[in-house]
Structure formats: C-alpha cells, structure tokens
Amino acid sequence: MKTTRIGFLGGGNMAGALVSGLLGSKAVAADQIRVADPRQQRLAELRQEYSIEATASNADVVKWANVVVLAVKPQVLPSVLSECGSLIGRGHLVVSLAAGVAIRTLESRVGAGARVVRAMPNTAALACASATAVASGTSATDADLDVARSLFDAVGKTVVLEEHHLDAVTGLSGSGPAYVLLFIEALADGGVKMGLPRDVALVLAAQTVHGAAKLLLESGKHPAVLKDMVTSPGGTTITGISVLESAGVRGTVIAAVEAATLRATELGKRS
C-alpha cells in the first residue's frame, strides 16, 4: 500500500481506530493518511496522537486522496457528499462505513467512475478486534476489495459478502458487541450473587468470554465440540447449561439477531 493515500471524511472513534490500526500494523505511514473533521479539538487530538495531517476541509482531503473513507454518521453523509461528492471520481476508491446507506445510493452521489465498497465494522475496532464485512459496488475491482480488506484487517477480521447480506451482518456482528457485553455483565452479576467481589467477577467474566472466543477462532472446531469438552456427565457445566436452555437463551439470541437485522433493513430503506 505504498502508493495509497487514505483520506478519512470524519474523525470520530471508528476513524481513529482505523488510523491507529493502520499505523500500528505498519500497513501505511503517517504521511499516507489525512483526516477531515469539523471539530478543531478533534483535529488537534489526531495530529498530536498520530502525527497525521488533519483539516476541516473535506474537499482538500478528497483532492489529495485516492482512497476516501466515509466515516460519518448516515444522517450526516448527504451534506458531506453534497459538499464534495462531485470531486470524487474515477481515480478514487470510496469505502463507506455509513450503516444502512446502499451502494446504489453512494454511487449516485459521487462522480462517474468512482469505485465503491461498503463496509460494516463494529465497535471492537477500538480494541483492534473488529468483525467487518465488506461488499463491492458495480465498478469496484478485486484489487479494490483487497485494499478495503487491508484497512479492516488492521483492526480485526474481515469477510467479503454480497451487499444483500450486510443487514444480517449489522444484526449479528454490528450489534453483537452489545449482546455479548450484556452477557458479560450478567455473568459477572452471577459471580457477585455467589459472593465474588464485583471487580473480580467482572474480570473473570470478561476474560472467560475472551478466552472462549479465542479458543474457537484458533482451534477451528465447532462451538458444540468445544462445549462438550468441558461438559462432564453430571457436572457443574451441564447443570448450568440446562438452566440456560430451559430459559430459551439460544432462541432468544437468534430472535435478537433477527430483530436487529429487520430493523437495519427498515432503516436502510430511508437512506
């Protein structure tokens, strides 16, 4: 990515996470990144923390960049593209993080020939542990997808999907950190109920979830296989699992992903 010039329109948490990941992984150098944001305090923070150029001008960043990352909220995106969309053209790869904004909508608001990739990362990018899905537009090439993947591989794991799957991604991994954090909180509460100090219970709960996920990803084994490895006949684990199954936890989680997916679809129709 030595010739890549990445311009972020929007300097919020997700942009900051991507900048941090890209620089930390040495995928690009600081002089290959510029950020535009209307908040002077945020611009100063970005300059100080990452030694990158930061400006209030979206147009200046677009003119300099060959990869434009749309890192603004969906409701802000129309005004941003009204300001500088005409400057984005054949020489640009556009990577949009705007949830629910369809590729066809993006392509209609930028110049002819711009290649568009839509991405759905999640908040764990702040810890370099994001789960991201990317989908390509009509003009995007395999090379463009490789560039987009490299952006998000710097802050986690990335998969390539067709755009029609992105609402399901939103319902699963986009909203998923909140589901898992709710479970961690409940797990810790269970420890507190049984006498553990709150701070200890929270550390144990969080590390338990982290360890289980790491074991799954690194072993490549099905979660049921790993579950059975720690579920002895008549033991403590099967007793706890029985309670969870009786309460319908599995079905409730499935229903939560379904509901969030349908909501994502509903919101996307408004874009």
Count of C-beta atoms within a 10 Å radius of residue 170: 24
Question: What are the structural domains of the chain?
Answer: 6-166 (3.40.50.720), 174-268 (1.10.3730.10)
Q: How does pLDDT run along the chain (271 residues), one tens digit per residue?
A: 768 999 999 999 999 999 999 999 898 999 999 999 999 999 999 999 999 999 999 999 999 999 999 999 989 999 999 999 999 999 999 999 998 899 999 999 999 999 999 999 999 998 999 999 999 999 999 999 999 999 999 999 999 999 999 999 999 999 999 999 999 999 999 999 999 999 999 999 999 999 999 999 999 999 999 999 999 999 999 999 999 999 999 999 999 999 999 998 888 777 6
Beta-carbon contacts of residue 132 (< 8 Å; ≥ 6 apart): 119, 120, 121, 122, 125, 152, 155, 156, 157, 158, 159, 173
Whole-model pTM over 0.85: yes
